[in-house]
Structure 1
Amino acid sequence: MHHHGHSHANDDEKHEHPVTSRKRMLWAVILTASFMLVEVIGGLVSGSLALLADAGHMLTDAAALLLAFYAMTLSAKPADSKRTFGYGRLQVLAAYTNGIFLILLTAWIVWESIQRFYQPNPIQSTTMLIVAVLGLLVNLVVFKILHSASDSNINVRSALLHVLGDLLGSVGAIIAALIIWQWGILWVDPLLSIFVSVLILRSAYHVIKDSSHILLEGKPQELDNQQIRHDLLQIEGVLDIHHMHLWSISEQEPLMTFHALIQEDFKGDDMIDVMLEVLRVKHGLIHATIQIERSNCVENTEAVACVDTAIK
């Protein structure tokens, strides 16, 4: 026979993104979209593929940043009857989508660059240099705006990678403009475009890898399930920990469920409190669902109730 302790807390609380973070993202969208138009004009006037490629990249950047801003706004909404975990995973979906866009963009840049090797176009190096320098300044500002919020948010980090790709593109365009101005070597323009594309592709791979891991209910990278099990078994009265599952809604919301076999003379509710405290203090887990058992767990033999406790 199973005995189950119960303890409940409010599961509807969400980790909202600060309003300042959303404002920063909105400013990043406005700056990126505005300068994208400048680069399109500059690329057409100068004949530079590097500038046009960077303008195309900034177009996807503006879309990526807008998508990230929209996801940040929706993720702050509380859970409802249809989405009991809320909207936090929208940010992961946005990051994954941005990663796919990055790969498609780099494929286009590489293809255009190869064509330019065979059919080089005349380039106005002075116009190219001026626009590239302005682009570098704008990208540095946007990078600074987003960098402080990127460490713990895969959505912001994926948007930041777009901006980093733009920043590298601007540096490449400046170098290409100087070389063309000094020596007239036109093939350096598509060559640097390919180099920047490879760097962007590498970043896109990591964004897609990290977001896919979350979407596939993978274990949060920073958590060690064997160490968690070991720490729980050190609690007096805990005989076994099994059926452990670790996953996350977003990078900021790791979740865990497990069954705990305890000794008969220990109270279930007290044991739950102790286990939750260990999870919170030692591993930073703020939400765990625990099923208390007093005999070995036998699956599919009877309906059981679970304990759902969220730590503030």
Structure 2
Amino acid sequence: MGAGHSHSHGGHAGHTHGAGADADRRWLAGALALIVAFMCGEVIVGIAAGSLALLSDAAHMLTDAASIALALWAMRLAARPPAGRMTFGWRRVEILSAQANGITLLLLSAWLGFEAIRRLISPPPVTGGAVLSTALIGIVVNLVATWMISRADRTSLNVEGAFQHILTDLFAFVATAVAGGVMVWTGFGRADAIATLVVVALMIKAGAGLVRASSRIFLEAAPADVDPGQIGRAMAARDNVVEVHDLHIWEITSGSPALSAHVLVDPGSDCHAVRVELADWLESEHHIEHTTLQVDHAQPATLQVGTRPATHCAEIPEPGKPPTRA
């Protein structure tokens, strides 16, 4: 039996541990400080003006701050090397963080949606000028925060979740500014609740996207841009490969796909050479760096009638270890 494992530390994984990760943390920490400072001021103005739209924006910014804080915490854990029972390290903590952010957005949107509908039915007095001026400042703050987070590595679902939070909040402030302007110039008080419903819709979209993407990883589904059937057929069409089965493709964390399979090769072929060639091809063509391939010789019956008996290849020992045979 020729069983082999290939894994290189490039791409996202390498970025997590290197100087790039330190830069990511600095960008996220700067955005976090900016958002928390503005959020505190927005809560004060929202309460004073009686604006649910401002308070809903502040609540959304609270989830933004939480998402960035979770992202920073998850990045620190993900940088820990594999050890003990954690054979893949702590890299999936990033996915836990993304899912927690998504669920929080959905729960918060349900409460704000209820409050907005109640205010549509019976609108309270709202100070439109305070809403407009605060929303305009919020647009500037969110533009800066969005730019800062966009400088980080967005191949991570964790960082991308924080970015989508801030981007959604930017759109929400635009809607709130429009509502504030409507209230100032027309006195239409229900504009505040309507703006809140726009914020709620954006929160539902962002939250559902995070939960869906993180759930795919927890359920060990293939990455959205990967077709396992197509990859399996392409592997089987490679030189000296007779059959590929027991094919599994999943993600360890966002941006880190993995693959395992049982491969039957022509009798007389070099199992080790075929395994190395397949691993190199999967990495170069499909960006799958973590591969585990069991390679066996196919018996003649496999070539004639399509059955799956196999003769085992001698394992290629690691340096310093004696060879073994299954």
Task: Quote the residue 2:91 is aligned against.
Answer: 88
Count of matched residue pairs: 302
Quick check: 69-78 or 9-18, which moved more?
9-18
Task: Quote the residue 1:254 is aligned against.
Answer: 257
C-alpha change, 1:135 and 1:278, in structure 2 (3 Å) is same
Structure 1: runs of 5+ lacking an equivalent: none
Distance 2:317 2:224 in 1: 25
Q: Is 1:5 equivalent to 2:2 in the alignment?
A: yes
**How far does the alpha carbon of each residue in 1:57-76 deviate from its partner, in whole angstroms, 9 at most, with x for none?**
11122112111111112111
C-alpha change, 1:63 and 1:110, in structure 2 (3 Å) is same
Distance 1:298 1:243 in 2: 14
Post-superposition shift, 1:32? 1.2
Distance 2:28 2:138 in 1: 18
Where in structure 2 are the equivalents of 1:94-133 lying within 5 Å?
Answer: 94-133=97-136
Secondary structure (helix, strand or coil) at the match of 2:14 reads coil
Asked whether the 8 Å contact 1:74–1:87 carries over to 2, the reply is yes
Asked whether the 8 Å contact 2:102–2:207 carries over to 1, the reply is yes
C-alpha change, 1:234 and 1:192, in structure 2 (3 Å) is same
Where in structure 2 are the equivalents of 1:142-157 lying within 5 Å?
Answer: 142-149=145-152, 151-157=154-160
Percent identity among equivalent residues? Answer: 31
Q: Is 1:45 equivalent to 2:42 in the alignment?
A: no
Task: Quote the residue 2:190 is aligned against.
Answer: 187
Asked whether the 8 Å contact 1:262–1:294 carries over to 2, the reply is yes
Q: Is 1:236 equivalent to 2:239 in the alignment?
A: yes
Task: Quote the residue 2:35 is aligned against.
Answer: 32
Distance 2:38 2:153 in 1: 22
Distance 1:55 1:236 in 2: 60
Distance 1:89 1:100 in 2: 17
Post-superposition shift, 1:291? 0.6
22, 26, 35: which one aligns with 2:25: 22
TM-score (norm 2): 0.86
Post-superposition shift, 1:297? 5.1
Post-superposition shift, 1:151? 4.0
Distance 1:204 1:306 in 2: 48
Q: What's the C-alpha RMSD, in Å, of the aligned pairs? A: 2.4
Asked whether the 8 Å contact 1:113–1:193 carries over to 2, the reply is yes
Distance 1:235 1:113 in 2: 59
Post-superposition shift, 1:113? 1.0
Distance 1:7 1:289 in 2: 6
**How far does the alpha carbon of each residue in 1:54-106 deviate from its partner, in whole angstroms, 9 at most, with x for none?**
11111122112111111112111111112100111111111111110110111
Task: Quote the residue 1:284 is aligned against.
Answer: 287
Asked whether the 8 Å contact 1:32–1:58 carries over to 2, the reply is yes
Q: Which amino acid aligns with 1:272?
A: R
Distance 2:243 2:3 in 1: 19
C-alpha change, 1:59 and 1:264, in structure 2 (3 Å) is same
TM-score (norm 1): 0.90
C-alpha change, 1:204 and 1:150, in structure 2 (3 Å) is farther
Asked whether the 8 Å contact 1:60–1:101 carries over to 2, the reply is yes
73, 77, 91: which one aligns with 1:74: 77
Asked whether the 8 Å contact 2:6–2:290 carries over to 1, the reply is no
Post-superposition shift, 1:134? 1.0
Secondary structure (helix, strand or coil) at the match of 2:2 reads coil
Post-superposition shift, 1:150? 5.9
Structure 2: runs of 5+ lacking an equivalent: 299-306, 319-326
Quick check: 115-124 or 192-201, which moved more?
115-124
Secondary structure (helix, strand or coil) at the match of 2:91 reads coil
Post-superposition shift, 1:120? 2.1
Asked whether the 8 Å contact 1:289–1:306 carries over to 2, the reply is no
Distance 1:269 1:45 in 2: 72
C-alpha change, 1:124 and 1:68, in structure 2 (3 Å) is same
